[in-house]
Amino acid sequence: MNLNSVPISVLDLSFVREGDLPAQALLESKELAQLADQLGYKRFWLAEHHNMKGIASAATSVAIGYVAGATSRIRVGAGGIMLPNHAPLVIAEQFGTLESLYPGRIDLGLGRAPGTDILTARALRRDKTGGVDTFPDDVKELLNYFAPSQPNQAVHAVPGEGLEIPVLLLGSSGFSSMLAAQMGLPFGFASHFAPDHLMAALQQYRQHFQPSQYLAKPYCIVAINVIVADTDEEAQRLFTSAQQGVLALLRGRRPQMQPPIDSLEGMWNEAERVEVQRLLKYSFVGNPETVATSLRKLLEETQADELITTARIYDLNARKRSLVLLASVQPRLTR
């Protein structure tokens, strides 16, 4: 890949196909990471979701270690760890261990949402006090565990202390963008599923950014859906798996990934069609030239420093083909 162009990364949700087991999804995540490593993508991230039959990356730190051990160059990390579900010390130790095993290759993206429903969030947290309201303090505590030891410090992350693992804040609203700006951390916006506040959040982050020991100037990552195939028609057909997934969520269901179909006509009503299109606004689907044109426009609008792409594609070979074709597009994407 052209080092002068905007870097592209991969966000993988370890989607479980209808009828498959999570083990197969995790195996395929490893294969995708190995291909992304070979193709020169910058990062390969996994995300924390719970109580979802269609996503296998709930134990995100474990999945990251599995992928990192199977790759050699690409950065591997969390996009993200939902910090309100965990004690900061536990995450510091987990990622300190990962960084110790795979030095210089581990990222820690942090989210404020639970990554699940209310009942499951309660089951995850048990007697842990706080939650989203303590998120800023939890982030600071976590960062302190990665810093060098201080005199009279009582609690240490071992491993973790002194490793200064890169921490990024992720979000879909202005809360995390403002916190990232105030703390001088990189910021990633989840426009792949929450498109409404992208531009406002990026503007707020850049306007209020304060340089820190972690980062000298703002760094924005924009998360998007990207499906590339040899033809526009083929890409649009592959995209129907994502559309079916969002439609199911709107109807209160969370099924495993569905195979692509020719059309969703007859499956949704007009209000549902409009809402699915809104939620998938930042989806770039087509042949390499179609996608390149759309991504250049996005970069002009957002001035993003990096794009991280996800693709709910049912067939593994089609997903691999999409990564290969997107890699051919990347050198043409500059700011």
Query: DSSP readout, 221-282?
Result: EEEEEEEE-SSHHHHHHHHHHHHHHHHHHHTT--PPBPPP-S--BTTB-HHHHHHHHHHTTT
Indicate the SS3 state at residue 161.
coil
What's the domain range around 88?
8-332
The CA-atom distances, in angstroms, between 44 and each of 74, 75, 77, 112, 121 are 7, 6, 7, 20, 26
For residue 196, being part of any structural domain is answered with: yes
Confirm whether 2 is domain-assigned: no
Which residues of the chain fall short of a pLDDT of 70?
1-4, 114-117, 120-121, 125-132
Q: What is the pLDDT of residues 124-164, one digit of tens each?
A: 765 555 555 789 999 999 999 999 998 889 999 999 999 98
Residue 238's pLDDT is what? 98
The pair of structure tokens assigned to 203 is: 């503007």
Q: What pLDDT shows up at residue 127?
A: 56
The pLDDT assigned to 1 comes to: 41
Domain count, the chain: 1
Q: Is residue 241 part of a domain?
A: yes
Structure tokens at 80: 């993200």
CA 237 to chain centre: 23
Residue 98 lies inside a defined structural domain of this protein: yes
Q: Give dist(CA 187, CA 189) in Å, integer.
A: 7
- For residue 3, being part of any structural domain is answered with no
Q: What was the pLDDT predicted at 3? A: 42
pLDDT, residue 5, reads: 85
Is 299 domain-assigned?
yes
For position 331, what pLDDT does the model report?
Answer: 82
* Residue 250 token pair: 């709107």
CATH of the domain at 84: 3.20.20.30
Q: What angle do CA 85, 311, 82 make, to 5 degrees?
A: 10
Could you report the per-residue pLDDT of 80-107, keeping only the tens digit for each?
999 999 999 999 999 999 999 999 999 9
Quick check: is 271 in a domain?
yes
Q: How far apart are CA 284 and CA 304, in angstroms?
A: 16
pLDDT of residue 126: 53
User: 177: Cβ–Cβ under 8 A, 6 or more apart, which residues?
Assistant: 169, 171, 187, 189, 201, 202, 204, 205
Residue 22 lies in a domain: yes
